[in-house]
Amino acid sequence: MSVHKDLMKHAENQNKSYQQFLAWDQQREQYIEEAIELCKQGKPFSTDKINEVTNKMNKINLRIIPIKKNVTVEMVEEYVNSKK
């Protein structure tokens, strides 16, 4: 019975971690969109918030979750320029 409870607790913890990952992923995408919009307008922008969330996401230790790359200002500029 103890093993069953341990497995249930482990699964619950994995689910909580995954839900947190999804929330951070959504926030990361929002920050990326904000940076893109500022770049399109020629306004200064930073990738600090994006990478702060990215680093949190990468600390979640679930095998099913891929490691996310940090985003540079140059990456955002290249993306915006490729869409012109």
pLDDT for position 63: 80
For the stretch 22-69, pLDDT in tens is: 999 999 999 999 999 999 999 999 999 999 999 999 999 778 888 999
Categorize the per-residue pLDDT at 1 as very low, low, confident or very high, splitting at 50, 70 and 90.
Answer: low
* Non-local CB neighbours of 75 within 8 Å, separated by 6+ positions: 47
Categorize the per-residue pLDDT at 2 as very low, low, confident or very high, splitting at 50, 70 and 90.
Answer: confident
Quote the pTM value. Answer: 0.86
Helix (H, G, I), strand (E, B) or coil at 40: helix
Which CA distances in Å does 70 have to 24, 36, 39?
14, 15, 17
Burial readout 26-47 (b: 16 or more C-beta within 10 A, e: otherwise): ebbeebbeebbeebeeeeebeb
